[in-house]
Structure 1
Amino acid sequence: MNLENKTLLITGIGGFIGLRAAEIALSRGMKVRGLQRSQEKAKAAQKLGAEVIVGSITDPVAAAKACQGVDIVLHAAAIVKEGGSPKDFYEVNVGGTLNMAKAAKNAGANTFVYLSSVMVYGFNFPNGVAEEGPLCGENNPYCQTKIESEKELLKLNAPPDFGIIIIRPGDVYGPGSTSWVVRPLQLMRERVFALANGGRGVMNHVYVDNLIEGIFLAIEKEAYGEVFNLTDGQETSWKEYFTRLAKIGDVPAPIISLPAGVLKFIAWLRCCGQSVVGQNPDTLPQSVNWVTRPYAYSIAKARSQLGYEPKIDLEEGMRRTREWLQKTDLLKAGSTAKTL
C-alpha cells in the first residue's frame, strides 16, 4: 500500500506516540485526522496541521464521526499505567478499542492498526519470547486488557475489505515520554529514585521514531492478521538506561539500589502519603514489576516479514531526547508530569 495521500486517523493523537505519528505521517504526504478526549492535547496536533475531533473512543457517535472518509486507523488511545480500576481499564482498553474498530469497519476503512504492548507477555517470560507467546495477564488490568483487546480484534480481521494489524511495542522513549523520561528524571531530582535489584533487569527500549517506522512498514506490507513485537533490538540494563538518562537530564546518576520487595513497600508508603494530601500518586508499587523484567523480546518476525531495522540507536535517541529536554520546562522544580 502506498501511504501518500491516504487519510490516517490517530486516536489519542495528542499523546506522546500519537503526536509524533501525526508529525511523521504529515511529512510523508498523508492526511491526518485525530480523535482526542482532551481539548488541550488536541491543540498540539492541530498546530501540526491535523484535523482533530474532540471526543472519547468509548463514544459511538464520536467514533463514527472520526472514521468517516478514513483509509487507515492507528489506535493509540488507552489507559496506560501500572495499575488501577479493572472496570476502567476494560471500558477503555477493550470496549473503546472494539468501538473504534467497528466504527472504522462500518465507515469503509480498510486497515486498523492496534497499538498493544509487550506487556501481554507479563513480567516473567522466556528469553527471546516471540509473538506466539506465552501470554500472561499477571492479574494486572493493563496486561489483561491488552490481551483481551487483541483477541477480540482479530475476530474482526477480514481482508482485503478490513484488515487488523497488531503492534506490540517495547518500552517507548524519546521526546515527550512521561513513563521513561520525564517521570524518572523528576524522581531523580527529588532524590527519591532507586534502582530495583541493582538495575539488572532488561529494558527493551524502542525510540518513538523506530516504532512509527515499524508501524508504517506493517501498513505498507498490508500485514493483516499479523502481530509484531517492535523494539530497538538492543538488550540494555535498566541501570545503563537510567544512568544515561540522568546524564542527559543533568542530574546525579542513580547509585542507590534496593531489593524489589523493599522498593515496592517504599512506593506504597509514598502513594499513601500523596493520597492523604490530595495528590495523585506518581509511582505505584506495581511500577517495580516493569523494571525487573529479566529478558529481551524477539523482533525477528518484524525483521524478516517487514524489513524492519531500527535506525536510531540508544546513543542517538538519547541525544535527541536531550535536545528536547533543553527546550522544555517539564523538569523545572515544582513541575508535575502528566500522562500522555
Structure 2
Amino acid sequence: MDLKHKTILITGIGEFIGLRTAQLAIAKEMKVCGMQSSADKAKKAQNLGAKVIIANITDSASAELACQGVDIVVHTDEIAKEGGSLEEFRKINVDGTINIAKAAKSAGVKTFVYISSALVYGFNYPKNITEEGPLSGDNNPYCQTKIEAEKALLQLNNPPDFGTIILRAGDVYGPGSIPWIVRPLIMMRQKLFAYAGDGMGIINHVYIDNLVTAIFLAIEKEAHGETFNITDGQETTWKEYFTCLAEMAGLPAPF
C-alpha cells in the first residue's frame, strides 16, 4: 500500500506513541487526524496540523464521525497504569477498542492497526517467546484486557474489506516516555531511584521510532490478520539501561 496522501486516524494522538506516529505520518505526506480525550494533549497534535476530535473512544457518535473518510486507523489509546479495577480497564481497553473498530469497519476503513503489548504473555514470559506463545492475564487488569481486545479484533478481521493488524510492543522508550525516561530521571535527580532485585532482569525494550516504523511497514505490507511482537531484539538488563540513561542525562549511576 502506498501511504502518500492516505488518510490516517490515530487514537490517543496526543499521547507518547500517538504523537510520534502523527509526526512520522505527516513526514510521509499522509493526511492525519485523530481522537484524544484530553484537550490539552490534543493541542500537541493540532500544532502539527492534525485535525483532532476531542472525545473518548467509548463515545459511538464521536468514533463514527472520526472514521469518516479514513483509510487507516492506528489505535494507540489505552489505560495503562499500576492500579485500578478490571471494569475501569475494560471500559477503555476492550469496549473502547471494539467501539472504534466497529466504527472504522462501518465507515469503510481498510486497515486497523492495534497497539497491543508484550504483557499479553504475562509478566514472566519465557525468553524469546514467539507470537504463538501462551497468553497469560496474570490476574492483572492491563494484561487481561489487552488479551480480550486482541481476541475481539481478530473476530472483526475480514480483509480486504476490513483488515486488522496486532502489534505487541515491548517496553516503549524514547523522548517523552513517562515510565522509561521522564519518571526515572526525576527519581534519579531526587536520589530516590531504585529497582527491584539485583538489576539483572531483562528489559524487553523497543525504541519509539522502531515501533512506529513497524506500524507503517505492517500497513504497507497489508499484513491483515497478522500479529507481531515488536522489540529492539536486544537483551538489556535493568542496570545497563538505567546506567546508560543516567550517563546521557549527566547524572551519576544510580546504583
TM-score (norm 2): 0.98
Does the residue aligned with 1:74 lie in a helix, a strand or coil? strand
Tell me, yes or no, if structure 1 residue 234 matches structure 2 residue 249: no
Query: Deviations for 1:103-161, whole angstroms, at most 9, x for unmatched residues?
Result: 00011101100000000011122221000111110000000000000011100000000
Partner Cα distance (1:115, 1:83) in 2: 21
Does the residue aligned with 2:223 lie in a helix, a strand or coil? coil
Runs of 4+ off more than 4 Å: none
Tell me, yes or no, if structure 1 residue 131 matches structure 2 residue 131: yes
Partner Cα distance (2:50, 2:220) in 1: 21
Unaligned runs of 5+ in 1: 256-340
In the alignment, which residue of structure 1 is the partner of 2:107? 107
Q: Which structure has the larger Rg?
A: 1
Does the residue aligned with 2:149 lie in a helix, a strand or coil? helix
In the alignment, which residue of structure 2 is the partner of 1:30? 30
In the alignment, which residue of structure 1 is the partner of 2:154? 154
In the alignment, which residue of structure 2 is the partner of 1:85? 85
In the alignment, which residue of structure 1 is the partner of 2:180? 180
For residue 198 of structure 1, report the CA deviation from its aligned partner. 1.2
Does the residue aligned with 2:146 lie in a helix, a strand or coil? helix
C-alpha contact (below 8 Å) 1:195/1:254 kept by paired residues: no
Partner Cα distance (1:83, 1:31) in 2: 36
Partner Cα distance (1:130, 1:22) in 2: 29
1:214 is aligned with what amino acid?
A: A
Does the residue aligned with 2:168 lie in a helix, a strand or coil? strand
Paired residues in the alignment total 255
TM-score (norm 1): 0.74
Partner Cα distance (1:198, 1:222) in 2: 43
Does the residue aligned with 2:47 lie in a helix, a strand or coil? helix
Judging by fraction of residues, say which structure has more strand.
2
**Mapping for residues 180-219 of structure 1, pairs under 5 Å:** 180-219=180-219
For residue 2 of structure 1, report the CA deviation from its aligned partner. 0.7
For residue 6 of structure 1, report the CA deviation from its aligned partner. 0.5
1:53 is aligned with what amino acid?
A: I
For residue 193 of structure 1, report the CA deviation from its aligned partner. 1.2
1:230 is aligned with what amino acid?
A: I
Tell me, yes or no, if structure 1 residue 120 matches structure 2 residue 102: no
Tell me, yes or no, if structure 1 residue 7 matches structure 2 residue 7: yes
In the alignment, which residue of structure 1 is the partner of 2:40? 40
C-alpha contact (below 8 Å) 1:13/1:35 kept by paired residues: yes
Partner Cα distance (2:194, 2:43) in 1: 36
For residue 195 of structure 1, report the CA deviation from its aligned partner. 2.3
For residue 80 of structure 1, report the CA deviation from its aligned partner. 1.2
C-alpha contact (below 8 Å) 1:83/1:142 kept by paired residues: no
In the alignment, which residue of structure 1 is the partner of 2:63? 63
Give the CA RMSD over aligned residues.
0.8
Does the residue aligned with 2:89 lie in a helix, a strand or coil? helix
Does the residue aligned with 1:131 lie in a helix, a strand or coil? coil
For residue 55 of structure 1, report the CA deviation from its aligned partner. 0.4
Partner Cα distance (1:138, 1:185) in 2: 29
Deviates more, 1:74-83 or 1:244-253: 244-253
Query: Deviations for 1:256-288, whole angstroms, at most 9, x for unmatched residues?
Result: xxxxxxxxxxxxxxxxxxxxxxxxxxxxxxxxx
